[in-house]
Chain A
Amino acid sequence: MTVPVTWQDVAALLPEFFLVVWASALLLLDVFWIREKRTTAWLSALGFVVALVLAVGQMGRAPLLAFRGMVIADAFSVFLVALFALSGLVGILLAQDYLARNGIERGEFYVLLMFSVVGMMLMARVADLVMIFLALELFSLPLYVMTGFARPRADSEEAALKYFLLGAFASGFMAFGIALVYGATSTTSLPHMVDVIQAGEADLALLTAGAALVLTGLGFKIATVPFHMWTPDVYHGAPSPVSGFMAATAKMAGFAALLRLFVLVFPVVADLTPVLWALAALSMVLGNVAAIAQRNIKRLLAYSSIAHAGYMLSAAVAFADPHLGPQAVAAILFYLVAYVLATFGAWGVVILLERRIGQEGLLLEDYAGLSRQYPGLAAAMAVFMLSFIGVPPTLGFFGKFYLFRVVLDAGFVGLALIGVLTSLVSAYYYLRVVMLMYMKPGEPIVRREPRVQATVLAAAALTLFLGLTAASSLYAWATEAILRFG
């Protein structure tokens, strides 16, 4: 009980600590001294760069439980923390021009984004049930506010309220699920829980019920069917950079906690395998089929994100197999990298084509003729769409390859088949965007915003060249990011 907390514990959470202090200071600086909101944006971007450096500095160290076993700095969490710091940076690059041109730029936006990223980082670090709940709320609450940032636009406010109500509903499930898990194992500490479960002292019925409720809570965050109904509306109503940020990072955070819980702590609740199987299959089918009918690019990307949650979840179905667990984690991490790159890139293109907030330039027809005037941008968008489908040699292809290999190794042939077939279905609506850009005449109007353009091109280049040259070494790196407790 009286393990002293030392500076070593702080060192284990250095990126998070730095970001919290930086964000708090920035909040006060912003109201007192900073005249230009752009300065706040650059300062928060600088904060993310420093956090990224700190996270990279943590790589290769031995796993360390800190703050009396509340959080852990292992290879898995460091990998994701670095990815989150990078995502925060990209989020700011995408948001700044958009907010400024639509007259909704406030310094609080960047501070909220930083707090949200801290919450996501902690989601990757959890070693205690208390932390899961706290981290989940820490990253969700700022997202609710950011969704409503375009007030008094009714669609943005409405999206924020919907997201908030369903998010709160999900946290209710989460809290009750955690309570049941605690009741089943008599501890909130995950490493202790592993011991209790291995000693056979856990109440399995209660544990399964609790795990199912926790899965429901996380399912809302990663937007799997049937907990997805908020996704299209929220992504549609929120300011586009916020939608892009949410689509990429909130899903990562949800999967981080889901993998740690299910692969590391709950392999014993193998009863839930069919439930996960059904969730994955439903998400893949429903997400892809619903996306076909969409005319609005934001809604299309929302349904596509549901489908991708399904693909990642299909590898997580193998959680109960002790040999395949680590492979599933590596495959999902790899897929997350591919998904995040393509998602940020695609939303960057959406931001460049959106004329006024929530109006014009959001329909698929508005992309017609893009390749004539903006060949670079059209090529980048095509790369993202191909990566989403999983066409070689993009990163998305390798992502799906590793995912389906795990699914097949685990013996879920049906699930792998659904995955491949729905990927073919998804080719229809992704390629329609490509076809519109290249085959149809049109006069698209595109913003000249060098930072967003550079981000989009960088994401496209990485998607293409990492796929061509470094896919296997990236996968090897993801394999090293195994989950550990001490």
Chain B
Amino acid sequence: MNGTQWAFLGVYFLLALIFPALPIVIAHFLGPRRPNPIKDDVYECGLKTYGSPWVPIKVQYYLFALVFLIFDVELVFLYPWAVAYDMLPMFAVFEGILFILMLGAALVYAWKREALDWYEPTMPEFRS
């Protein structure tokens, strides 16, 4: 890597700093400032904010999120499989089906373990 290229990198970083900073600075000088209570309020989709946002989130949300996360990300392997489907050898088709079956088994397991049921009290203890 020669000096010119490093210079390009430097210029790029500089531009990356200036570009977002410029509108903020311009707005600071040009924009009129007439604050009132409504403008200073927390932005909440036009509704009045209700309660404190710092309440503990129910632990069950995490359980749902974790199960969702796994199935969501595993999908990444099915995209290329589906795109190349009509060109695949038989073995690859079997592999894909096996993969889906394993995901299905995991889903059945989570279901049976009541990870997908919504309980009003706190997180269901896994039965032993």
Contacts and interface: CB of A to CB of B under 8 A. Distances in A.
A104 B109 contact: no
Contact of B105 (A4, A6, A27, A104): A27
A5 B92 contact: yes
A1 interface: no
B128 A105 contact: yes
Interface in A27-75: 27-28, 31-32, 37
A24 B105 contact: yes
B112 A5 contact: no
Contacts of B95: 5
A4 B89 contact: yes
Interface residues of A, number: 13
B128 A104 contact: yes
B96 to A, nearest CB: 12
Nearest to A99: B128
A24 B102 CA distance: 8
Interface in B88-125: 89, 91-92, 95, 102, 105, 108-109, 112-113
Contacts of A31: 109, 112-113
A5 B113 contact: no
B91 A6 contact: yes
Nearest to B89: A4
A103 interface: yes
Contacts of B13: none
Contact of A32 (B89, B91, B112): B112
Contacts of A432: none
Contacts of B50: none
Contacts of A105: 128
Contacts of B128: 37, 103-106
A31 B106 CA distance: 11
Interface string A1-16: 0001110000000000
B61 interface: no
A5 B93 CA distance: 11
A106 B92 CA distance: 35
Nearest to B101: A24
Contacts of B92: 5
B109 A27 contact: yes
B91 A5 contact: yes
B54 interface: no
A149 to B, nearest CB: 11
B126 interface: yes
Nearest to B128: A106
A288 to B, nearest CB: 40
A104 B128 CA distance: 7
Contacts of B109: 27-28, 31
Interface string A351-380: 000000000000000000000000000000
A105 B105 CA distance: 22
Given A5-B89, A5-B91, A31-B113, A106 B126 contact: yes
24 contacts: A4-B89, A4-B91, A5-B89, A5-B91, A5-B92, A5-B95, A6-B91, A24-B102, A24-B105, A27-B105, A27-B109, A28-B105, A28-B108, A28-B109, A31-B109, A31-B112, A31-B113, A32-B112, A37-B128, A103-B128, A104-B128, A105-B128, A106-B126, A106-B128
Interface of B: 89, 91-92, 95, 102, 105, 108-109, 112-113, 126, 128
Interface of A: 4-6, 24, 27-28, 31-32, 37, 103-106
Query: What 5 pairs across the A-B complex have the smallest Cβ distances?
Result: A31-B112, A5-B91, A106-B128, A24-B105, A27-B109
